[in-house]
Chain A
Amino acid sequence: MDILHMFLEVGFWMAVVRMATPLLFGTLGELICERAGVLNLGVEGIMAAGCMAGWTWVYMGGDLWGGVLFAAAVGGGIGLVHAIFTVHLGLSQHVTGLGITMLATALSSFVFRMVLPDVTTPPKIIPFAPLDIPILGDIPLLGPVLFNQSPLTLLAIFMVFFIGWFLKYTPAGLALCMTGENPMAVESQGLSVFAIRTCAVVAGSALMAIGGAFLTLSAFDAFYIGMVNGRGWICIALVVFSSWKPSKALVGVVLFAVFDALQMRVQQDISMVVPYQFYLMMPYVLSIAALILMSRRSAYPKALLVPFRKGER
Chain B
Amino acid sequence: MPDQTPFLHISKITKKFGSVFACDSVTLQLQQGEILALLGENGAGKTTLMNILFGHYVADSGSISIGGKELTPGSPRRALKVGLGMVHQHFSLADNMSVLDNITLGTESMFGLWRKSGEARQKINKLINTYELDVDPRSIVKNLSVGQRQRVEILKALYRDSRILILDEPTAVLTPQEAEHLFATLRLLVDKGLAIIFITHKLREVMAVSDRCLVLRHGKVSYESRTRDTDVDTLAREMVGGEVPVVEQLPTSPGKKVLSLEGVGVKNSDGYSLLHDVSLELRGGEIIGIAGVSGNGQSHLADLISGLLSADKGSFELLGEAVVSPTPMGMLKRGVGRIPEDRTGTGLVGDMNVQENLILENYWTKKVSHFGLLKADFMRKNAKDIMEQYDVRCGGEDLPVRLMSGGNMQKLILGRVLSEEPSVIMANQPTWGLDVGAAAFVHSRLIRASRDGVGIIIISEDLDELFKVADVIQVMYKGTLSPPVRPADTDAREMGLAMSGHLEVFASTVAEAHHEA
Contacts and interface: CB of A to CB of B under 8 A. Distances in A.
Same complex: yes
Interface of A: 169-172, 174-175, 177-178, 181-182, 184-191, 299, 302, 310-311, 313
B114 A189 contact: no
B260 interface: no
B105 A178 contact: yes
A180 to B, nearest CB: 9
B94 A185 contact: yes
Contact of A313 (B90, B93, B106): B90
Contacts of B102: 178, 185
12 contacts: A169-B114, A174-B105, A178-B101, A181-B95, A187-B92, A188-B76, A190-B77, A190-B80, A190-B106, A302-B94, A311-B51, A311-B56
Closest 4 A/B residue pairs (Cβ) = A181-B94, A189-B106, A171-B108, A190-B77
A188 B97 contact: no
B76 A181 contact: no
B96 A181 contact: yes
Interface centre among A169, A170, A177 (most CB of B within 10 A): A170
Contacts of A187: 76, 92
Interface of B: 51, 56-57, 76-77, 79-81, 86, 88, 90, 92-97, 101-102, 104-115, 156
A169 B97 contact: no
Given A190-B80, A313-B90, A185 B110 contact: no
B76 A170 contact: no
B105 A170 contact: no
Contact of B96 (A171, A189, A299): A299
Given A174-B104, A191-B106, A311-B56, A181 B97 contact: yes
Given A182-B95, A186-B105, A175 B88 contact: no
A175 B81 CA distance: 18
Contacts of A311: 51, 56-57
Nearest to B75: A190
A182 B88 CA distance: 14
Q: Is the contact region of chain A dominated by helix, strand, or loop, or is it mixed?
A: helix
A52 to B, nearest CB: 33
A178 B94 contact: yes
B101 A174 contact: yes
A311 B47 CA distance: 12
Contacts of A299: 96
Contacts of A188: 76, 86, 88, 92
Nearest to A176: B110
B456 to A, nearest CB: 31
Nearest to A310: B56
A185 B105 CA distance: 9
A188 B108 CA distance: 15
Given A172-B112, A184-B92, A185-B102, 4 more contacts: A186-B105, A187-B76, A189-B107, A191-B105
Interface centre among B88, B106, B156 (most CB of A within 10 A): B106
B93 A182 contact: yes
B95 A189 contact: no
Nearest to A172: B110
Contact of B110 (A171, A182, A310): A171
Nearest to A177: B97
Contacts of B80: 189-190
B112 A182 contact: no
B94 A175 contact: no
A177 B95 CA distance: 12
B94 A169 contact: no
A189 B156 contact: yes
B58 to A, nearest CB: 11
Given A170-B115, A188-B88, A313-B90, A175 B96 contact: no
Nearest to A301: B96
A193 to B, nearest CB: 11
Contact of A190 (B76, B104, B112): B76
A127 B200 CA distance: 69
A252 B127 CA distance: 43
B165 to A, nearest CB: 14
Nearest to A187: B76
A189 B94 contact: no
A302 B81 CA distance: 28
A143 B57 CA distance: 61
A14 to B, nearest CB: 34
A184 B112 CA distance: 23
A185 B106 CA distance: 10
Contacts of B105: 174-175, 178, 185-186, 189, 191
A310 B76 CA distance: 12
B61 to A, nearest CB: 20
